[in-house]
């Protein structure tokens, strides 16, 4: 089993790498690369993302052929992919951070700024928050409802189809914090920074 973390210069992903290596042990080989052939031959892919929607999309687009390779992996071959933070947001059709930017279009929807109710809620939303699991998801196996996860974000993913939502968190409003659509999984929170429960989510993804 080979799990590849896509390295497309989207900020510091060392904690993602370390957390996956910790849970993988003898269950999987963890590779960090932007090499298209290595990505194609993987069993599973992790798409991290830090920074703005636009900066992450631009960084993906800078690597020739990466978008096509990811599309083939996810949409054609239906292999499992986990998007983390902006990695999840890029599933959308469009994002409105900095400027209107086209997303990957894997899960129809948009990424908009969290409504902070005229300053009542601080942005970015940083820290631990409870998640409300709204549908059974493979990555939430043995994770209890209302568990706390670690967040850092100012923008939220609003999917067109509410059936893809697997968990929400309450911050200013009900914010989508996890999605599952067939072989596509995503978390707005950072499992790699969410202590033992976060590691359990990464382990669940490896075991899918």
Map the chain to HEC letters: CEEEEECCCCCCCHHHHHHHHHHHCCCCEEEEECCHHHHHCCCEEEECCCCCHHHHHHHHHHCCCHHHHHHHHHHHCCCCEEEECHHHHCCCCEECCCCCEECCCCCCEEEEECCCCCCCCCCCEEEEEECEECCCCHHHCCCCCCCEEEEEECEEEEECCHHHEEEEEEECEEEEEEEEECCEEEECCCHHHCHHHHHHHHHHHHHC
Tell me the average pLDDT across 125-143.
Answer: 97
Residue positions annotated with a catalytic role: 85, 190, 192
Return the pLDDT at 11: 81
What is the pLDDT at residue 16?
97
What's the pLDDT at 10? 82
Of 11-15, 73-77, 166-170, the poorest mean pLDDT is in 11-15
Q: Give the domain CATH number at 43.
A: 3.40.50.880
**Closest among 8, 114, 110, 125 to 57, alpha carbons compared:** 8
Specify the residue for token string 């202590």.
195
pLDDT over threshold 90, residue 147: yes
Q: Are strands 184-187 and 173-181 parallel, antiparallel or unpaired?
A: antiparallel
Average pLDDT value for residue range 69-79? 98
How many domains would you assign to the chain? Answer: 1
Q: Which tens digits make up the pLDDT trace of 173-192?
A: 999 999 999 999 999 999 99
Report the candidate in 86, 18, 21 with the shortest Cα–Cα distance to residue 49: 86
**pLDDT tens per residue across span 35-66:** 999 999 999 999 999 999 999 999 999 999 99
In DSSP terms, 170 is beta-bridged to: 174
Express as a percent the part of the chain with pLDDT over 90: 96
Domain holding 127, by residue range, is 2-207
């Amino acid at each position: 089993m080979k799990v590849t973390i896509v390295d497309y210069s989207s900020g510091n992903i060392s904690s993602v790498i370390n957390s996956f290596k910790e849970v993988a042990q003898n269950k999987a080989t963890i590779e960090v690369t932007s090499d298209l052939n290595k990505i194609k031959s993987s069993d599973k892919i992790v798409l991290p993302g830090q920074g703005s929607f636009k900066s992450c999309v631009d960084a993906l687009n800078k690597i020739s052929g990466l978008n096509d390779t990811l599309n083939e992996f996810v949409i054609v071959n239906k292999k499992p992919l986990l998007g983390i933070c902006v990695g999840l947001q890029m599933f959308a059709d469009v994002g409105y951070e900095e400027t209107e930017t086209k997303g990957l279009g894997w899960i129809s929807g948009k990424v908009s700024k969290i409504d902070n109710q005229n300053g009542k809620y601080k942005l970015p939303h940083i820290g631990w928050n409870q998640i409300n699991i709204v549908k059974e998801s493979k990555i939430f196996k043995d994770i209890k409802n209302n568990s706390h996860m670690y967040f850092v974000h100012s923008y939220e993913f609003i999917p067109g189809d509410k059936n893809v939502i697997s968990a929400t968190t309450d911050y200013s409003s009900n914010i989508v914090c996890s999605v599952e659509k067939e072989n596509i999984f995503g978390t707005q929170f950072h499992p790699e920074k969410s202590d033992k429960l976060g590691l359990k989510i990464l382990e669940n993804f490896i075991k899918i």
